[in-house]
Structure 1
Amino acid sequence: MLLAGEYAITREGGIGIALALAPRAVVRLSARVTPESVQRFRRALYALESGKMQSIGGLRLESRAGAPEGTSPPILPPVLREITNFIRHTGYRAQGELPTSLEPTTIVIDTSRFFDPVTGLKLGFGSSGAAMVLLTAALLHLAGVDPLGNRNTLLSVAVRAHRAFQGGRGSGYDVACSTMGGMLRFIGGEVPRWERLQVLRKWRDEGLRLYTLQVGTPVSSTRAVAAFDRRFPSGHEAEAFLVRSNEAVDKLIRARTWRQLTEAVAYARDVSRVIGDAIGVPAELPPGLTGDDRSWTAKTSGAGDEQAIVLARSDAGRAAASPLPEGLRELQLQPEGFRAERDGEEGP
C-alpha cells in the first residue's frame, strides 16, 4: 500500500513510501526440482522463445477463487520471457537432446485473502503484484534459481514482467513490497531502487496506529497512470509536481512529533488532491474524513479516492474532537516479504 508518492513513483527519481501489509498470498508448486528437471525447463524456455514450441508441455497454472485478474495463463508469457533473458545472461547454453517437456507440474496461486469475504471486492493491498512475485518465484525455482537466496533477481525479473503484462506501465512498488516486505522508501525509474525505513516502528512506539477505509469509487491504476502521462508527459509542470511530491514524502519521513506528522499528511493530501483534479481522477476525501489533526488524520492512498489511509493516536477514540470513521481496518505490516514455509508453501 502506498502512503505517499502517488504517480511520482512512475517517473525517474520519484519517491514514495510503500508498506507491505497482511494478508499473505501463497504459491504451491507440485513438482520436485532436480538437476534433470532444471535442464528440461531451461531447454523448454529456449525452445519457447525460438518459436519451436507454443507452450511448455506439462506446465499448468491455476488460481484460487477470488484471485485477481493477472493470475490467469496470459500472465505466463512475460514472466517466461524475462526468466529466459536472465538465464541467458548467466551464460547458460542448452546442450544435448534432453526432452523439453516437463513432468506434470502445477503452479497454484492463491490471493483470495486479498478480497473481502463478504463483498468479494479487492482490499486494495496489491494482489496483482503479489501474484506476479509468486509466479516469478515458482518459475525461477523450476529454472534452478533459489528465489529466497536471490531476492534482487526475483524483484528485477518480476518488475520487468509486471510492466510488460501491464503494457509497459507500473512503478513496481507493489512488487517490491511483496518481495522485500516492511516499510520502504521506493524510488521509481527504469530500474527502481528501494531502502528500508524504520519510521513506522518509531510512530508505533509513540502510540500511532494505521488504518485503511474504503471510501470512494474503484479506480483502475493503469488508466489513472495513463491519464497522468497524458497530462504531464514532461517539461516544467511535470518537474514541479515531482519536486512537490518528493517534498511531501520527505516531510512524512522526517516527522517526529504528532504535529509534524499531521502537517506532513495535510501537505501530502493536498498534493494528491491537486494532481487528481488535474488529470481527472479525483483524490479528495469526503467532508469529515480528513481528521481533526488532534488525534487522527487521513489522506487518500493510491490512484483516485477509492481508499483512505488513516493515522490515529492509540487514544483517538477517547480524545478525538471528531469521532473516528466507522469501518476502519487496522493495517498489519509484513516485515519479511517473500518467504518459504516448511510445508512447501512460499509467498509474500
Structure 2
Amino acid sequence: MSRVVFTVPASFLLTGEYFVTEPGQPGLAIAADPCATVLIEPAQTLCFRSSWGSSAGSGADISWGSSAGNGPGSNSACNAPQQITADDSPLLAAVLDEWQQAVGSLADLHWPAAAGRTAPLQGARITVDTGRFFHADGSKRGFGSSAAACVGFCTALAWLHPNSRSFDRRRITGIAVQAHRRFQGGRGSGYDVTAAVYGGAGLFTGGDCPDWEPLPQLLPLLSPLWLLNTEPVSTPQSILGYSGFRHRHPARCEQLRQRNVLLHRQLAELCDTPRPSAADLLQLLSRARDIGIELGREIGVPAEPSGTLIQQLHEVPLVKAVGAGSETLMVFGHPRRPAPAAEPLLPLPAGTPLPSSLHPEEP
C-alpha cells in the first residue's frame, strides 16, 4: 500500500441554534458534500501539510517539513512534531497538543510495516485539503472547514497508531472536539466535528463529549436542499451574544430553550413512526426557524434573509438560517434553483469519513 486517501464531509446544524453550546441541549445536524480530502503517505518522519483557498490547492498554503515537490519517503527534513506551534498553524498545534494529552507520544506513530519489510517506516506525511470549503477569492463558505481539517488530522493520526483498531468513531470524536475547542479558544458545541466524524443525519446532544444518535430515515426527506451564502458572521461573537442574553434574561432564554427541547422530542417521535413524511419534517423545521429568528433578535444577530433575498425567496416553502446569524441560509422543499446564487447541497450517508482500513467492521 503506497498511500491512504479518505474524505471528510462538510457539516450543517439544521436545528438547535446556540442552545447546543450547552450540555444536554439537542440539535439536528447533517454531513454533506463538499468534502475535504485527506492523504496519508509513507515518509521518513512525521510531517504535515494543509492547503485551502481553492480545490486546485492554490491560494493560501502552509507546509511543515518536506516541500511539495518531494515524493514519499524522501530524505528532506521535516519539522519535528514538537516544533510545530500556534505560529505555524493554530489548528494543527491544537490537534497535536490534544493528541499528546489524550493518547500519547507522536513518536509512536508510523506507517505500518508492509509485507517483506522487517520494520515500519519511521513516519508519514499527512495532507489535508479543504479547498472546496472556500470561495475562489479565499473566503470561507461556512461549511465547517476547520472542523473537517481537525477530523482529518485526528483520523490520520489514529490510522498511524499501532493500535488503530482501538479508535472507534466516539473516541475520534472526543479527541477532535477537544482539539477544535482548543483552536476556538474553548468555545464551540462540537456539532460540526461530530457530524463530520459520523456522517449522515443525526440528533446531536451537546456536552464535554457530544452524543450522536443516527437518523438515517431523515436523509431522503431532506432532498432537495439548496444553500445561499450571505455576509460572513463571527461565530465566536455570536456565541458570546447568546451567553450574554442567557445571563441577562434567564427566564426568556429558558422559554426558548424548552421550546427547542420539545421540538426535538417531537422530531425523535417522527423518526420512530413507520413512514415519516417530508411534510411533517418541514413543519418541525419551520418551528425551528421561528425559534432561531426569535433568538437571533434577542441576541442582536439576525437569523433571517433580508433585502433582495426576501423577494427572490417569497415562494419558497422554507428558508432557515443554519450558520451563525444569517451567514448561511438553507432552502428546503423547492424543486428548482430558488435564487441565482443558490447551490445544491447533497447530504451524505453515514460512515463516509473514516478509512475502511481503520474500521473494517463499520460500513
Report the TM-score when normalising by structure 1.
0.74
Percentage identity across paired residues of the two chains: 32
Give the one of 299, 312, 330 matched to 1:309: 330
Distance in 1 (CA, whole Å) between partners of 2:155 and 2:338 is 40
- Please state if 1:211 is matched with 2:226: yes
Which deviations, in whole Å up to 9, do the C-alpha atoms of 1:257-288 show, x marking residues without a partner? 45534432332111111111111111122234
Cα offsets for 1:302-321 (capped at 9, x unmatched): 2111111111254xx5xxxx
Report the equivalent of 1:85: 101
Out of 239, 255, 259, the position equivalent to 1:225 is 239
C-alpha deviation, 1:140, in angstroms: 2.7
Indicate if the aligned counterparts of 1:147 and 1:154 stay in contact, CA closer than 8 A.
Answer: no
Asked if structure 1 preserves the Cα contact closer than 8 Å seen for 2:46 and 2:124, the reply is yes
Task: State how far apart, in whole Å, the 2-side matches of 1:72 and 1:132 are.
Answer: 15
Give the partner amino acid of 2:340: E
Summarize the Cα distance change of 1:231–1:201 in structure 2 as closer, same or farther, 3 Å threshold.
Answer: closer
Q: Give the Cα–Cα distance (whole angstroms) in 1 for the partners of residues 46 and 232 of structure 2.
A: 34
Between the aligned partners of 2:257 and 2:242, the Cα distance in structure 1 is: 12
Structure 2 gap segments, 5+ residues each: 1-11, 55-59, 62-85, 109-120, 358-363
Q: Is the 8 A contact 2:313 2:339 kept in 1?
A: no
Tell me which of 263, 269, 272 is aligned to 2:292: 272
Cα offset, 1:18, TM superposition: 0.5
The correspondence of residues 52-91 of structure 1 with structure 2, limited to 5 A, is 58-66=45-53, 73-87=89-103
Q: Distance in 2 between matches of 1:266 and 1:180?
A: 26
Structure 1's unaligned 5+ residue stretches are: 38-57, 93-101, 318-322, 343-348
The verdict on how the C-alpha distance between 1:72 and 1:140 changes in structure 2, with shifts beyond 3 A counting, is farther
325 and 227 in structure 1: CA distance in 2 versus 1, 3 angstrom threshold: same
Query: Residue 20 of structure 1 aligns with which residue?
Result: 31
Change (3 A) 1:334 1:71: farther
- 1:113 is aligned, of 132, 140, 145, to 132
Distance 2:101 2:15 in 1: 33
Report the 3-state secondary structure (helix = DSSP H, G, I; strand = E; otherwise coil) of the residue aligned with 1:331: strand
Distance change >3 Å, CA 149–CA 143, structure 1 → 2: closer
CA 1:80/1:119 → structure 2, altered by over 3 Å: closer, same or farther? closer
Contact 1:177/1:337 (8 A) holds in 2: no
Q: Out of 172, 181, 203, which is 2:190 matched to? A: 172
Distance 1:198 1:84, change over 3 A: same
Kindly indicate whether the alpha-carbon contact (under 8 Å) linking 2:158 and 2:167 is maintained by their aligned counterparts in 1.
no
Look up the equivalent residue of 1:340 and give its one-letter code: P
C-alpha contact (below 8 Å) 1:63/1:71 kept by paired residues: no
The whole-number CA distance in structure 1 between the counterparts of 2:205 and 2:281 is 21
Check whether the contact 1:147–1:153 (CA below 8 A) recurs between aligned residues.
no
Bigger mean CA deviation after superposition, 296-305 or 284-293:
284-293
Evaluate the alpha carbon distance shift between residue 291 and residue 11 of structure 1 in structure 2; reply closer, same or farther with a 3 A threshold.
farther
Distance 1:165 1:149, change over 3 A: closer
Instruction: Give the deviation of 1:86 after TM superposition.
Output: 3.0
**What one-letter code is carried by the residue in structure 1 that aligns with 2:344?**
E
**Hey, what does 2:340 align to over in structure 1?**
326
Q: 2:77 matched to which residue of 1? A: none
Greater shift after overlay, 274-283 or 238-247? Answer: 238-247
Residue by residue, what CA displacement relative to the aligned partner does 1:162-205 show, whole Å, maximum 9, x if unpaired? Answer: 1112111111111111111000110111221010013434416x
For residue 273 of structure 1, what is the amino acid of its counterpart?
Answer: I
1:240 is matched by which residue type in structure 2? Q
Is 1:6–2:54 an aligned residue pair?
no
1:339 is paired with a residue whose SS is coil
- Choose 236-245 or 145-154, whichever is displaced more: 145-154
Tell me which amino acid in the other structure corresponds to 1:128: S
TM-superposed CA distance for 1:326, in Å, is 2.5
When normalised by structure 2's length, the TM-score is 0.71
* 2:155 counterpart residue number: 137
Deviation of 1:289 after TM superposition, in Å, equals 5.8
Q: Shift of residue 225 of structure 1?
A: 0.9
Match of 1:159 in 2: 177
Q: Aligned partners of 1:309, 1:218: CA distance in 2, in Å?
A: 15
Residue 229 (structure 1) shift: 1.2
Over 3 Å counting, the alpha-carbon distance change for 1:26 and 1:202 in structure 2 is: closer
Q: Once superposed, what is the RMSD of the aligned Cα atoms? A: 3.2
What is the deviation of 1:144? Answer: 2.5
Query: Structure 1 residues 128 and 13, CA, compared in 2 at 3 Å: closer, same or farther?
Result: same
